Amino acid sequence: MTQDRPLADFIAGLPKAELHVHHVGSVSPRIVAELAERHPGTVPSDPDALKEFFTFRDFAHFVEVYLAVVALIREPEDIRMITYEIAADMAGQGIRYAELTCTPYTNVKAGIPIEAFVEAIEDARVAAERDHRVRLQWCYDVPGEFGVEAAAETVTYLDAAPSSLVGFGLGGPEIGVPRPQFKPYFDAARAAGLHSVPHAGETTGPQTIWDALNDLGAERIGHGTSCTQDAALLQHLVEQRIPLEVCPTSNIATRAVEHLDQHPIKEMVAAGAVVTINSDDPPMFGTWLNQEYEIAADLLDLDADGVADLARTAVDVSFLDDAGKRELRREIDDHATGWAQR
């Protein structure tokens, strides 16, 4: 990290939107430890042991650890607590709006009815906006490791969906989980008015991204790391203005990219792609959104104006309502103007 302190300070105070961040993956070590004490099992409650627990060998190991944390969430109050605490952590980073990716399938399978799940996240959402000025909306995510059964069941949850549900995604492993098989479920979600936001091209090649576009109607691509390997694909993403949800530290932690200086974000931006900066599963990867902005500024050689443009892009391609977008863009502009006048 070579960012100087003033730019880091600018980023810390910059109002931001985050579009690719996972619900369970955003639970801080402090809260994971509390859950582990409530529900003793395979996840350690000691902070040092947790740090070692969150050291991933590869993407498959990350999924294994992620599911172990999911297994700690056994009651609606667990869901309510983690959601509110995630929002409080976001507020400390200047995040004003987030589209939080939830995976209700795993919680329902653990015995929490979907109605109780929705009540818990909605209660936390209202409290977070009141207490911390953080506005949340939801994307329901299909855990790819559970196949089409998980997709079919997740679609049934749309009957009890709150108005704050805006997206329908597909996460988990990509290898061995072809995207076309999920087409009927994405068709149903889109017919219900949801936006399509699948992960694609994180640990697989460009064809996964093409499949997400052609079969799942993707409006944004989660990660899209391999898009630079296919010139036609990259050109298509640029021409159609399909945003990429880029998560640099995540890609290193899961070994999707070997080193930060090899990250394709530079090629994406040079080609004219729409890029947003996100943290994915921040505590699990030892990062936070402000650090991801610092990394992006370093890789892209951005000054404060360039960083502010990244924040504006995230707002523009979000699923926030128009009034909310105008207000958040005004906050970004005010912060940038105030910084320039210092």
- Point out the residues that are catalytic: 202
Residue 305 one-letter amino acid: D
What are 244's two structure tokens? 């990429």
Residue 135 one-letter amino acid: R
Please compute, for residue 87, the number of CA atoms within 13 A of its CA located in the half-sphere on the CB side.
27
Query: How is the chain split among helix, strand and coil, in percent rounded to 5?
Result: 60, 15, 30
Closest CA to 328 of 102, 14, 2: 14
d(CA 21, CA 222): 10
Residue 336 one-letter amino acid: A
d(CA 167, CA 183): 15
Question: Does residue 184 sit in helix, strand or coil?
Answer: helix
Closest CA to 97 of 205, 1, 19, 3: 19
* DSSP secondary structure code for residue 87 in this structure: H
Beta bridge pairs of residue 18? 98
